[in-house]
Amino acid sequence: IIEQYKPSYTLPMNELITKMMDLKQDSIVNKDFEKFLAMIEKLLGGKIGIKSNQIGQKELNLNISGSNSELPMFLVSSNTNQLATLYLYFKYWIKSKEKNFLILDEPEENLHPKNQYDLMSILIEFASQNNKLLLTTHSTLLTKIINNYINYAQLTDENKAKIQSEHLSSSLNIKDIEICFFDGEQVKHYTIEEYGVVFKDFLEIENQIASLSNEINMKLYEQWQSN
């Protein structure tokens, strides 16, 4: 089956399909990342299960928390499908606790802002455990979250203790981070300052939107005043 469809996909996608087809109900679970699995299960609203259909093909299902119900993956939300591969990575495919290299393309896609926030907590903690993480993003929310972690690392232990947040169990060392922006022609390297990174290209658009919003609101105010 894999060979039949192999020409239709890129090499990474073929490898992913092969890995999924090789999964078994009794596949060995990596115990090092049980905390991450529990966090992802909370985002998913359940666990990803594996079973074989009537013709022996592997199928993934979402086993919904707090019930005996399950949904095939083609019926679950795009949010669940987005997180399913990461769930399988931490549960079955990762081989060691350290020196892993995880690449994620736009992890914010299809996710509610709160889920983006929670997911970044998982990824930052993963990176802080001597692992490498490469992210691409179009999300200004993610850039702000990253800056929070960078700035948090600059605080003294005393000041860290004064900040209550479940999302700051880890921090980012400036020396371990590189941030770049691709403008369609070239890659720009952003400087990481003492207070984080100014994502200039994103900020320019945000300022344009804010300026237009202020202009519209002023006209609305004048309109209401005239009435």
Which residues have CB under 8 Å from 225's CB, separation 6+?
none
At 15-34, the pLDDT tens digits run: 777 777 777 666 667 778 88
Instruction: Return the pLDDT at 5.
Output: 47
Antiparallel, parallel or unpaired: β 132-136 and 179-182: unpaired
Domain ranges of the chain: 1-95, 96-105+116-132+140-227
Residue 2 pLDDT: 47
Distance CA 67, CA 120 (A): 28
Q: Is the pLDDT of residue 9 over 70?
A: no
Model pLDDT for residues 88-112, shown as the tens digit of each residue: 888 888 888 889 999 999 999 888 8
For residue 31 the two structure tokens come to 């115990």
| Across 1-18, average pLDDT | 61
Higher pLDDT residue, 120 or 10?
Answer: 120
CA 119 – CA 121 distance, rounded (Å): 5
Q: What pLDDT, on a 0 to 100 scale, did the predictor assign at position 156?
A: 87
Q: Is 46 left (phi over 0), alpha (psi -120 to 50) or beta?
A: left
Q: How far is CA 218 from CA 9, 107, 206, 213, in A?
A: 52, 37, 18, 9
CB 106 within 8 A of CB 136: yes
Backbone angles phi, psi at 225, to 5 degrees: -65, -40
